[in-house]
């Protein structure tokens, strides 16, 4: 699998969070300074807490429209020793550059393929996953559909996984349908932010279709308290879905960081997983979610 420091053996991936951001700018759209992560030294310090807690790898999904910085990610990986798998493509409607409206679907696909196979621009630093590919609301706009289809075509060429942003509703199923129309096997797709809509029918349908159900908002209390997330997760595991579950914390704001009083990149490992164990989830089931499933989807 491909990291910002080059190819690594799948066994080296270890404990992995599959939806994170280290440097990201949504501030240019939201007008909230909290939504700007632009300090490499702080990113290093915060990521070292994840490493100290036993973490090995993260998937960094800052892509088009969010000010992705491959060189900085490379430096952060070198300084921390944490593997970083970088995303590509474009985020969601309001964040799209104007060119999305006039470039062809195949042209957008070509750019993602180049990011995955040759490197971003002339950096030589390659993306390792397609996404996060999002929709803004509970329906897919024409521009968002175009990016989704381009993501599908980039996947068909490269075999790299597609990771989706779908919040607060079941729109992830509509995204899956478009990917399926383009010939993508849902087994290679992650439906992200599935824990922003704690609806068992939604999660079961993602499972039935064969995609990964990603609980990536752990510790994000403004969406749901962790207690509700935990309850929902335990139910999914009890139903036998553990092989399709991924866990992460989607850090993307200053107030998410330990430095600013937030829960940090280590929250999953130091706080949430012990609670899962207390709730009866076994070591083996945890290993499947944070080691084996990431290895499968990122390979
Ligand atoms: Zn994200």
Mean pLDDT of 176-187: 98
Pick the CATH number of 2-298 from 1.10.760.10, 1.10.240.10, 3.90.1580.10, 3.20.20.140: 3.20.20.140
pLDDT digits 0-9 by tens, 49-91 = 999 999 999 999 999 999 999 999 999 999 999 999 999 999 9
pLDDT digits 0-9 by tens, 19-48 = 999 999 999 999 999 999 999 999 999 999
Mean pLDDT of 250-261: 98
CA of 285 to the centre of ligand 1 (A): 25
What does the alpha-carbon distance between residue 72 and residue 6 come to, in Å, rounded to a whole number? 15
**Pick from 206, 126, 147: nearest CA to 171:** 206
* pTM greater than 0.85 (yes/no): yes
**Pick from 120, 17, 14, 115: nearest CA to 59:** 17
pLDDT at 60: 98
| Exposure on the CB side of residue 60, measured as CA atoms within 13 A | 30
Taking only Cα atoms into account, the Rg of the chain, rounded to an integer number of angstroms, comes to: 17
CA of 299 to the centre of ligand 1 (A): 20
Burial of 66 (0-12, 13-18, 19+ CB in 10 A): buried
CA of 83 to the centre of ligand 1 (A): 18
């Amino acid at each position: 699998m491909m990291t910002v420091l080059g190819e690594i053996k799948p066994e080296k991936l270890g404990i992995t969070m599959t939806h994170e951001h280290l440097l990201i700018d949504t501030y240019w759209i939201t007008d909230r300074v909290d939504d700007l992560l632009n300090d490499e030294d702080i990113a290093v310090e915060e990521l070292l807490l994840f490493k100290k807690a036993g973490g090995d790898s993260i998937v960094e999904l800052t892509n088009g429209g969010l000010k992705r910085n491959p060189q900085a990610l490379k430096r952060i990986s070198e300084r921390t020793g944490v593997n970083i798998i970088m995303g590509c493509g474009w985020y969601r409607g309001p964040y799209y550059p104007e060119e999305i409206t006039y470039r062809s679907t195949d042209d957008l696909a070509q750019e993602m393929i180049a990011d995955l196979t040759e490197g971003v621009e002339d950096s030589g630093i390659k993306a390792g996953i397609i996404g996060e590919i999002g929709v803004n609301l509970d329906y897919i706009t024409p521009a968002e559909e175009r990016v989704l289809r381009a993501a599908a075509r980039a996947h068909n060429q490269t075999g790299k996984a597609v990771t989706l942003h779908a919040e607060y509703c079941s729109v992830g199923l509509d995204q899956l349908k478009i990917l399926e129309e383009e010939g993508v096997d849902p087994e290679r797709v992650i439906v992200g932010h599935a824990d922003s809509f704690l609806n068992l029918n939604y999660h079961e349908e993602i499972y039935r279709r064969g995609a990964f159900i990603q609980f990536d908002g752990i510790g994000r209390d403004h969406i749901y308290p962790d207690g509700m997330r935990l309850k929902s997760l335990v139910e999914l595991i009890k139903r036998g879905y553990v092989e399709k579950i991924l866990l992460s914390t989607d850090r993307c704001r200053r107030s998410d960081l330990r430095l600013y009083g937030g829960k940090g990149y280590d929250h999953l490992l130091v706080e949430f997983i012990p609670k899962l164990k207390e709730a009866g989830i076994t070591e083996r089931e945890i290993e499947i979610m944070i080691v084996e499933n990431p290895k499968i989807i990122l390979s």
